[in-house]
Amino acid sequence: MNIILSILILGIIILIHELGHFLFAKWGGIGVVEFSLGMGPRLLSFEKGGTRYSVKAFPFGGSCAMLGEDEEAEDERAFGNKSVWARIAVVAGGPLFNFILAFCLAMIMVGATGSYDIPRVQAVQAGLPAEQAGIQAGDVIIKVNGRSIHSFRDFTTYTLTHPGKELNLTWKRTLEDGTARTYKAVVTPVSAENGRKMIGVEFAYGIRQPANLFETAKQAVYEVQFWIRYVFDSFYMMFHGAVSVDDISGPVGIVSTIDQSVSEASAAGGKKAVVLTLINFGILLSANLGVMNLLPFPALDGGRLFFLIIEALRKKPIDREKEAMIHTAGMVFLLALMVIILFNDMRKLF
């Protein structure tokens, strides 16, 4: 059952992505040949408004096939015959809907848990860099190396993914008279007994509750922002040799991780813990898919947006054949990478 739920989560996230493309295509007057729920052979289908709506055999994702998307077409409803801004909206619609889904799930999670964490220091370890910099219990860290901090996870994730990096910290302290004062210092982490780099602070957990719907929405935005930053922090680790291709998980690895996490949540906290675990994975994966598809790499939405933005700036389309060749090369690379990741996922399982 956990594996089925995991596959359904991945499928829904991909389907929402395709729904974004679909709705913006319809809005822009672009002909949609088929919009499908699932993959593989059709089980059910009907046609309405020039579009075939299908339910397919495998409940994994979906697709939005547009008229003239990959070839020349004379029909005025063809993708390539619409304005560059209409095409930009269609291509960007998929990632946009992933971010919207992540936000909606984050709203549910923040509302269900009824609390959120702020980066308030609970204790400072004696003799370590934080104490030497003047940080005290009760202080709230608000920036690290220019990045705004909204939760203790923002801080701990940054230090985990940038081990040993010098930290330009900004923190806020509420004085006895009720006024707030801001402090700044440069802090260099030191090695702990477990080999990790640390500055010697401990954070308080779950100490605030959203006061209203606006506060809940704001915390939901911060939650989505956290996972978007996590993607780029992971890239930082890859480029600095801290993460290899073997550490990257594909669909099989993701399903396995969700299965294990759901089983642990079920044993520890029952149905509510399972639901919140699935929602948390939904936020992570939806934000991740949105970011990855916006990367300016051939064959991804970001690669297509790159060429469309160039077309908008030069007021002249890129040669379609050359662009197609570049996207084809990118697709070949991505497929090869997917095979490697799938092999690693299977190797880890068995």
Mean of the pLDDT values across residues 157-171?
Answer: 90
Q: Which range (132-136, 296-300, 318-322) has the least confidence?
A: 318-322
- Cα–Cα distance, 154 to 101 (Å, whole number): 21
Q: Is the per-residue pLDDT at 205 higher than 90?
A: no
pLDDT of residue 60: 67
Over residues 208-229, the pLDDT tens digits come to 666 688 888 998 999 999 999 9
Residue-wise pLDDT for 36-68, tens only, equals 988 788 999 999 988 999 988 876 678 899 988
Q: CA–CA separation, 69 vs 35, rounded Å?
A: 14
Reply yes or no on whether the pLDDT at 73 is more than 80.
no
pLDDT at residue 114 is higher than 70? yes
pLDDT score recorded for residue 235: 84
At 254, list the tokens: 């993701």
pTM, rounded to two decimals: 0.86
Higher confidence at residue 282 or residue 194? 282
pLDDT tier for residue 338 given thresholds of 50, 70 and 90? confident
Assess contact for 13 and 19: CB atoms under 8 A.
no
Task: Examine the residue annotation and report whether 18 is marked as an active-site residue of this protein.
Answer: yes
Q: What is the mean pLDDT of residues 228-233?
A: 90
pLDDT of residue 103: 96
What is the C-alpha separation between 74 and 26, in angstroms, rounded?
A: 18
Distance, CA of 254 to chain centre: 14
CA distance 56 to 64: 13
Percent of the chain's residues with pLDDT above 90: 43
Q: What SS3 class is residue 202?
A: strand
Instruction: Point out the least confidently predicted range of 12-21, 140-149, 232-241.
Output: 232-241
| Mean per-residue pLDDT over the chain, rounded | 86
Are 279 and 108 within 8 A, CB to CB?
Answer: yes
Calpha distance 108→319 (Å, rounded): 45
What pLDDT score was predicted for residue 225? 94
Percent of the chain with pLDDT over 70: 92
Q: Strands 190-191, 197-198: parallel, antiparallel or unpaired by DSSP?
A: antiparallel
Q: Is 10 helix (H, G, I), strand (E, B) or coil?
A: helix
